[in-house]
Chains A and B, each alone.
Chain A
Amino acid sequence: MDISKATGIWVIGEQHNGILNPVCLELLGKAKELKEQLKFTEPVIAVVLGYNVEEMTEELFKYGADEAIIVDNPILKLFQNELYAAVLEDLIKENRPSIILMGATALSQDLASILGVRLNTGVAAHCVDLYINDENQMVSVVPAFGGKVLGKVLCPKRRPQIATVKPGIFNKHENSSHDKKVIKHNPEESLKGCFARMKALKEFKEEYKGVPLNEADVIIAGGWGIGSKENWYLIEKLSVLLSGAVGSTRPPVDEGWASESQMIGTSGKIVRPKVYIGIGISGATHHICGMKDANLIISINNDPHALIFEVSDICVEGDAKEILTNMLEELKTFNQ
């Protein structure tokens, strides 16, 4: 794609049953910032595919979209990578945006990789920062080795420049724009050429009890050092008393103490609560990458050399179970 002709910052939103994944709003905020940094102003355009998705435009405009491209069709009700990619490929080739931002979610990440091949361009994965450099190119800062290393990635000679970002990396801001132009795109032409070799049958929602990790002020996270399912209950109890959420590293998920949706880190969620309490967590880079931006970090570990202490504000050297039991005891007296 001709670089000089590419213009526009696109944010491709992901929705499920008419509910927009909030990462789209976070990306709109970042898109607005990129717009300020670009040499010539380019519009921020939100793109949403699905069925019965027209009502979402208000939300998109409220968080910074100048325009919204809505692709509404019953065939797009459930995500199917071939169909979604076919529609987007045509839309992108026709409109030639210079930048495309997408969530680093399971589905959008998949879509981004397909678009990379079809548009013969680069995709920077799960970026932690984005900005425009002096040459008017987007610089994507991406973590490698579980977040131990950060690297800058550029896509100097091809357009669009595609980047994915995990939910929770950027903040969303209300930032209403003036234009509010809605473009309804009919995908039938694109879908016609698409012989579906695959069919989506149904989507299930996972039931989740308690406060979701990315909404909690307090997160109590446990690791291998918790030792047993019984001790894990202590963490759950503490989270209830602190109105917080329970987080986890990989081993408790493998042990069946915690569920996968509770995992924090590069292969789980990125969180930034007011308070993070890490208990029995050694501090593998993969986990630290997901919690290092918490406001207050408290860690409890019986190993004085645990790596997590290096990123903690309060380092408690001691027995996890003993301290947990005492905290629960104290909270009981508070609540009496």
Chain B
Amino acid sequence: MGYDIAVCIKPVPDPKYYDKIKIHPVKKTIIREGIPTIINPSDKHAIEAALRIKEEFGGKVITITMAPMSSQENIREALAMGADEAYLLSNRMFAGSDTLATSYVLAQGLKKIGKFDFIFTGNESADGATSQVPGQIAEWLNIPHLCNVREFHFTKDKKVEAKIKIEGGYIEYLTTIPVLFSVSREVNKPRYTTIKGVIRARQKPINIFTVRDLELDNKYIGLKGSPTQPGEIYIPSIGRNGEKLKGDPRKIAIQILDRIRSVGVNFGKSK
């Protein structure tokens, strides 16, 4: 009994520091020195969703990550939250992967590890925020998926009813298992790690798969396997020469209202 659950997690530069990101003037690469790497925020909600199913119905939760070897510290955090085992897919040949190549490698990793009733992911990564990888993993695995899941519960016949958020509303679905859900921050509140959890996490395995451990078709991986190719990157200049106002709040209030009126917005009667 119980469910086999996989959670995809991605280490990302902490979004709190994105204003500090620079571009190397000559190499034209991203400079993110000094910015800590964290588990992608919505992925923590995916971990939480998985742990809650395990706690209620039993089963096993594994995490899977495609990232450089240096991300093991982030993966430990997921183990400390309560995941049972972690898998890290790491190889130089994966560098430069777009969403199609990334989702392919993750899907091949999942196939290698086993069969899952549920796969959870965050609905978007803080850095690229394409929201594409969850649906693409499901496609490669040929299982149904829903993005932006807000609530879900089991029905009597072992199916799942799930509600997704869309612009201006919601849609409710009934789905069979196996299924992949991408979840957003509103779905739950992720637990904090405890000292006990951190200690236990040290005993838990992080299994490392390189390119040789997976069945991969080279034409689908890395930069070469990516249909999209990156071009020039730049930091857009959006600065404005702000006029500074300080002092008496009443005078400021009047000045603000005058400026609003000056761009052709009408409200109230003029004095």
Contact = CB atoms under 8 A, between A and B. Distances in A.
Whether chain B is bound by chain A comes out as: yes
B264 interface: yes
A317 B244 contact: yes
Contacts of B26: none
B168 A326 contact: no
B228 A110 contact: no
A202 B171 contact: yes
B126 A106 contact: no
B139 A118 contact: yes
Given A110-B147, A117-B100, A155-B227, A330 B257 contact: yes
Interface size, A (range) = 35 or more
A205 B168 contact: yes
B135 A318 contact: no
Nearest to A315: B242
- Describe B's contact surface by its main secondary structure: mixed
A271 B16 CA distance: 22
A275 B232 CA distance: 32
B230 A198 contact: no
A323 interface: yes
Contacts of A275: 260, 263, 265
A315 B103 CA distance: 44
A318 B229 contact: no
Contacts of A241: 267-268
Interface string B180-208: 00000110000000000000000000000
Nearest to B100: A116
Contacts of B135: 81, 110, 113-114
Interface residues of B, number: 87
B233 interface: yes
A122 B228 contact: yes
Interface string B151-187: 0000000000100111111111111100100000110
A298 B243 CA distance: 9
A107 B241 CA distance: 39
B18 A316 contact: no
A71 interface: no
Contacts of B176: 197-198
A285 B268 contact: no
Interface in A234-276: 241-243, 254, 260-261, 266-267, 274-275
A325 B250 CA distance: 9
A200 interface: yes
7 contacts: A152-B230, A153-B230, A204-B170, A261-B167, A316-B245, A334-B270, A334-B271
Interface of A: 16, 21, 78-82, 105-107, 109-110, 112-114, 116-118, 120-126, 139, 143-158, 167, 197-206, 208, 217-218, 241-243, 254, 260-261, 266-267, 274-275, 277, 283-286, 288, 292, 295-299, 307, 309-319, 322-323, 325-327, 329-331, 333-335
